Each structure stands twice: as C-alpha cells, then as structure tokens.
C-alpha cells in the first residue's frame, strides 16, 4: 500500500459522498479506495507550487484544500498492460473522469502516472488517482491555474496566454490530455515496459511549455510516420483517429466545440472500438 496526498475538498467531502450515494459504477469502481488517512493543516496550491520551485504561481490564483495522506490498495500502472486490456483500462479512466467532471469534480492533472488499476476477479479495474491539485465546481473560481504535466497538456494550455493564467481550463483540455496519454504509451511502451533506447518523444520532457507546444504541433504533422510498439499497434490506430481531431482544431480559424458532451463524443468515444465500449 502506498500513501498519496489528496485534497479533502475532492476526496473525503465530495467524492466520498458521491460514491456513497451514487449507483454510477464509473465513479464507484474507478476512484481510489481509501483505507486510512491522516489530515494535515490547511494549505493551498500556491504554497504547494512554491515549495516545488515554481516562480509564477501568483498568476493562477489560489485554491484552498485540506491535505491528507491516504492509504489505499496496491495499484499497478496501466502502462504494464497491452492490447485490448490496456485500451479497456484507458477507456475506464476516461469515462470515470467524465462522470466525476459532470458531478463537479475538477481533476486537470492527467498523465500516465495517474492512470493505475488492480486485478479483481479476472478483470483489471482501472483507477484514476492523484487528486491533490483538484477542486470542485462548488469551491468557486479556480479554473485558470495552469495545472498539468507538459507532454500531456492540451496545446491551448501551452501558450503564453495560458501560462499567464488567462485561459480557463475546460473539459476539452482534459479530453485532449487523455489522447496525448494514449499516444505516449503506444509509442514508448512495449510488452508493458518502457523502451530502453530509441524512445520517441523524449524531447518533450526537456523543453518548457512553449517548446513543448512546438514539439507537439510538429508531431501532429508527422502522424503517418509514427511507429507504435508491437504491443500497441491496434491501440495506436485509435490514438491516430483522436489525434486527427486535435489536428483539425489547431488552425487559427477553427471553431472548437464548447459543449462538453459533443467533445466527449467527437474527440474520444466515436473512435473507441465497440468491444471496448461494451466492456
């Protein structure tokens, strides 16, 4: 079992209540199951970021949280999975995040390390974790903080305007993040293990936000030249279709959908195979 810091706004006060009241298994089955927790003094994201060396934290505003150390069951990263099992786990997390978003939970730090799971009854149950910088809609304004891991952040958030705290983080940005996560794993993991050499996309880890925007925009122009690993050939077909949607909306005159359900369907669900959708 491993500890992780989480905000009480999301987990103990809100997600906990949701899981208790809801019949929606997308939330119940795919949220972290807490066994024990310990409460710390009141803190906020600005303080957290300052301790991590960020110098522009004041631009994004302040979101108050209560911090806990929680103990949950041992989880495995979905990067250890391959083929249909991997794609099914990724989709479980996408739909879990969507269900939480519709209930007002704002988890915007999407990355492979937050996509975990465990085996139960012959199935792999995916779990979305790491709510330490999350908030809830009822907490009030806070959606202008530039939260995320650069290689998986939406292109629109890797711009000077977003860095300055002038772009609101909306569901579309999260949908795009899940697509980047899918592509990243398909290109860098084989047979459940990170490639040891000749890993594509390593340069995304060594640049700043503006540099990462340039790298990812260039990547979109070279999609047909990308070679997924043997374990993820079919999964990368799905990633390609999703990435094509992102590419469609990268132009300066593109009209990006504002309805979350339209985004969920056209960016994600419409490209997932029926056998995965049916579970």
- Name the residue with tokens 């490209």: 271
Strands (E), the chain: 3-7, 34-44, 64-72, 76-77, 105-106, 115-120, 123-128, 135-136, 189-190, 193-194
Beta strands 64-72 and 34-44 are antiparallel
Check residue 3 and give its pLDDT: 33
144 plus 244 within the same structural domain: yes
Whether residues 16 and 112 fall in one domain: no
Residues 205 and 218: their CA atoms lie apart, in Å, by 15
pLDDT of residue 6: 37
Q: What is the pLDDT of residue 235?
A: 98
Listed in sequence order, the residues at least 6 apart from 272 whose beta carbon sits closer than 8 Å to its beta carbon are 87, 91, 238
Structure tokens at 239: 């990633």
Phi, psi values for residue 146, rounded to 5°: -90, 85
Name the residue among 216, 235, 143 with its Cα closest to residue 177: 216
Last residue of a domain, one of 25, 43, 72: 72
Spatial CA neighbour of 80 closest among 124, 120, 121:
124
What is the pTM for the complete model shown?
Answer: 0.79
CATH code, domain carrying 80: 1.10.510.10
Q: What is the pLDDT of residue 36?
A: 56
Which pLDDT score, from 0 to 100, does residue 103 have?
87
Residues of the chain with pLDDT under 70: 1-72, 133, 137-143
**All residues at 6 or more sequence positions from 177 whose CB lies less than 8 Å from its CB, including other chains:** 108, 110, 111, 148, 152, 153, 154
Examine the domain organization and report whether 82 and 62 are in the same domain. no
Last residue of a domain, one of 72, 95, 118: 72
């Amino acid at each position: 079992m491993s500890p992780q810091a989480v905000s009480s706004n999301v987990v103990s006060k809100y997600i906990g209540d949701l899981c208790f009241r809801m019949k929606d298994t997308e939330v119940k089955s795919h949220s972290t199951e807490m066994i024990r927790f310990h409460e710390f003094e009141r803190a906020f994201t600005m303080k957290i970021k300052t301790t991590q060396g960020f110098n522009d934290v004041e631009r994004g505003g302040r979101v108050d949280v209560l911090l806990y150390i929680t103990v949950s069951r041992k989880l495995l990263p979905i990067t250890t999975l391959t083929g249909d099992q991997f794609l099914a786990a990724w989709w479980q997390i996408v739909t879990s995040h969507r269900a939480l978003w519709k209930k007002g939970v704002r988890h915007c730090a999407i990355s492979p390390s937050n996509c975990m799971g465990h085996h139960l009854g012959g199935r792999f149950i995916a779990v979305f974790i790491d709510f330490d910088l999350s908030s809830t809609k009822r907490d009030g304004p806070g959606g202008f903080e530039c939260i995320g891991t650069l290689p998986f952040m939406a292109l629109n958030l890797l711009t000077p305007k977003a860095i300055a705290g002038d772009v609101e983080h909306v569901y579309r940005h999260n949908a795009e993040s899940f697509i980047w996560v899918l592509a990243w794993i398909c290109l860098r993991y084989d047979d459940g293990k990170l490639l040891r050499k000749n890993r594509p996309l390593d340069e995304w880890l060594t640049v700043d936000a503006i540099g990462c925007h340039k790298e990812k925009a260039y990547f979109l122009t070279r999609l047909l030249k990308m070679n997924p690993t043997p374990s993820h050939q079919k999964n990368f077909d799905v990633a390609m279709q999703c990435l094509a949607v992102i590419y469609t909306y990268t132009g300066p005159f593109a009209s990006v959908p504002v309805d979350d359900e339209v985004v969920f369907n056209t960016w994600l669900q419409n490209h997932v195979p029926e056998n995965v959708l049916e579970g």
